[in-house]
Amino acid sequence: ELDVTEYQKSLAIRVSGFDVPRPIKIFEDSGFSLQLMSAITKQGYEKPTPIQCQALPIVLSGRDIIGIAKTGSGKTAAFVLPMIVHIMDQPELEKEEGPIGVICAPTRELAHQIYLESKKFAKSHGIRVCAVYGGMSKLDQFKELKAGCEIVVATPGRLIDMLKIKALTMLRATYLVLDEADRMFDLGFEPQIRSVVGQVRPDRQTLLFSATMPRKIEKLAREILTDPVRVTVGEVGM
């Protein structure tokens, strides 16, 4: 245990919550499939970043997480890689429809980056990713969603529009990511976030990532996450 504490300290990782899974040192410690490992290598990722070292084992164990680390620290892969594992673990994948993984991000640009990153890891597993944000006509978006997907990357407003017109159902959604939660709050998306969360089954796994953690987001996190592990890397503003 002492060396775990030392290792966390060396990576500037702080954790709180009960039974926190120990951080990994190399991607191989995650038990990823060969396919996923080769996709990681193809990305040029040699070893996990500090947030990935601690977040990957937490999320892979099925726990909810509050992940706080600055921009550029590799938070996307910290939720995308376990999402691929989560999706591949679903029994009878074909039985229902609608996304299994739902990712909300504050802007079209950020959502698009996550969309591209998700596709890189989803492709080799036959997992379909749908982008749900402005820039595409609502009719085209509707058609694309109707064609089916396992992952949706969305801005909250457009996702709610698509839910309203029943372009997708959340029946299968069990893995919900709120990325850049601080920016979503700053942009006034709290009601939309609450609406989306309210439409995803309560037995979901919920992940919240942010570069800063102001009080109001901490409060929201406590409301919508279940026994989360909180991970902070480096010095983070409030």
What's the chain's Rg over C-alpha atoms? 17
Q: Which residue bears the tokens 């990511």?
A: 177
Token couple for 169: 């159902």
Which residue, 100 or 177, has its beta carbon nearer to ligand ADP?
Answer: 177
Q: How many separate helices (H) and strands (E) can be counted in the chain?
A: 10, 8
Which region, judged by CB under 6 A, interacts with ligand ADP, from 68-76, 148-156, 167-175, 195-203? 68-76
- Asked whether position 232 contacts ligand ADP by CB under 6 A, the answer is no
Contact 64, 206 (CB under 8 A): yes
- Selected binder of ligand ADP within 13, 59, 65, 77 (CB under 6 A): 77
- Asked whether position 134 contacts ligand ADP by CB under 6 A, the answer is no
Binding mask 47-86 for Mg ion (x = CB under 5 A): ----------------------------x-----------
Token couple for 113: 């980056």
∠ Cα 16 189 141 (to 5°): 115
Task: Find the helix packing angle between 75-88 and 34-42, rounded to 10°.
Answer: 160
* Min dist. Cβ of residue 216 to ligand ADP (A): 21
Token couple for 80: 């995308």
- Selected binder of ligand ADP within 20, 24, 48, 232 (CB under 6 A): 48
Contact 71, 49 (CB under 8 A): no
- Selected binder of ligand ADP within 8, 49, 118, 210 (CB under 6 A): 49
- Selected binder of ligand ADP within 63, 75, 86, 172 (CB under 6 A): 75
Which residue's Cβ lies closest to Mg ion? 75
- Asked whether position 158 contacts ligand ADP by CB under 6 A, the answer is no
Residue 191's CB is within 10 A of a number of other CB atoms, namely 10
Nearest to 210 by CA among 231, 237, 179, 165: 179
- Asked whether position 210 contacts Mg ion by CB under 5 A, the answer is no
Number of residues that this document lists for the chain: 238
Which residue, 170 or 233, has its beta carbon nearer to ligand ADP?
Answer: 233
- Asked whether position 74 contacts ligand ADP by CB under 6 A, the answer is yes
Which region, judged by CB under 6 A, interacts with ligand ADP, from 69-77, 118-126, 158-166, 229-237? 69-77
Residue 234's CB is within 10 A of a number of other CB atoms, namely 14
Q: Which residues bind Mg ion (CB under 5 A)?
A: 75
Q: Which residues bind ligand ADP (CB under 6 A)?
A: 45, 48-49, 52, 69, 71-77
